[in-house]
């Protein structure tokens, strides 16, 4: 079986821009927009809102595109933020890869949701966003940086968006038994949400 080509950042950007232009044309000209299955194998990865920013972050930190494409592939299959321990544990293999952790930290630095929106921006992948927090919560690599990024999220959510704070609180509650450094974060979130 031939190895699948991983697209460049420019190819991803061009493809996503064409998809967006097509949708805008349909809306503007009152055309029918048919939602069908993927046009080619792996298209769901190409169009996932987190793929392009993750691949850009990978380039910034010098991570292998192949390694990050695996993460993008996994994230593109997920339909909701993690809830159960098993769902959080999906990120364990990725949390053990230093370049993936570097990339995710960069991704989280550059990609911040619009707080207090009734409907989060359609250009933002909130599911991947919370799985990335699960990933850094599970990582032993750059643990100080991971904890710092988690604290930033805790403080931002407490201050700016309590509904998202609840999702992050679930992260802390589920992972705390094996990751005790999450306890003070959990306590701060619980106190703020009361």
Work out the angle at residue 123's Cα, subtended by the Cα atoms of residues 61 and 134, and round it to the nearest 5 degrees.
55
Residues 157 and 127 in one domain: yes
Pair 32, 106 in one domain: no
- What is the token pair recorded at 56? 């850009």
Structure confidence at residue 105 (pLDDT): 98
Q: Check residue 3 and give its pLDDT.
A: 44
- Give me the pLDDT at residue 115, please: 66
13 and 57 inside one domain: no
pLDDT at 137 over 80: yes
Confirm if 131 and 108 have CB atoms less than 8 A apart. Answer: no
Residues 19 and 79 in one domain: no
Q: Answer yes or no: do 20 and 60 share one domain.
A: no
In a domain, 55, yes or no: yes
Same domain, 95 and 119: yes
**Total domain count for the chain?**
2
Q: What percent of the chain has pLDDT over 70?
A: 93
- pLDDT for residue 188: 96
In a domain, 3, yes or no: no
Its domain, for residue 28, covers: 8-37
- The DSSP secondary structure of 79-110, one letter per residue, reads -S---SHHHHGGGHHHHT-HHHHHHHHHHHHH
3-class SS of residue 154:
helix
Mean pLDDT, range 2-11, rounded to an integer? 80
User: Count of alpha carbons within 13 Å of 24, Cβ hemisphere only?
Assistant: 6
Is 15 contained in some domain? Answer: yes
Same domain, 62 and 15: no
- Region 182-192: mean pLDDT is 96
Reported as a single tens digit per residue, the pLDDT across 28-39 is 998 887 777 777
């Amino acid at each position: 079986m031939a190895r699948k080509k991983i697209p460049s950042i420019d190819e991803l950007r061009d493809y996503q821009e064409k998809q967006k232009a097509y949708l805008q044309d349909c809306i503007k000209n009152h055309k029918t927009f048919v939602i069908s299955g993927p046009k080619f194998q792996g298209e769901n990865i190409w169009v996932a809102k987190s793929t392009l920013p993750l691949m850009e972050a990978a380039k910034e930190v010098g991570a292998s595109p192949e390694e990050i494409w695996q993460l993008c592939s996994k994230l593109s299959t997920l339909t909701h933020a993690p809830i159960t321990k098993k769902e959080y544990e999906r990120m364990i293999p990725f949390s053990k890869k230093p370049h993936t952790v570097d990339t995710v930290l960069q991704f989280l630095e550059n990609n911040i949701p619009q707080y207090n929106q009734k409907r989060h921006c359609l250009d933002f992948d909130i599911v991947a966003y919370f799985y990335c927090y699960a990933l850094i919560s599970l990582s032993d690599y750059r643990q100080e940086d991971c904890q710092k990024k988690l604290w930033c999220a805790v403080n931002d959510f407490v201050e700016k968006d309590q509904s998202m704070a609840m999702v992050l609180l679930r992260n802390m509650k589920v992972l705390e038994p094996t990751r005790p450094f999450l306890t003070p974060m959990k306590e701060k979130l619980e106190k703020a949400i009361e």
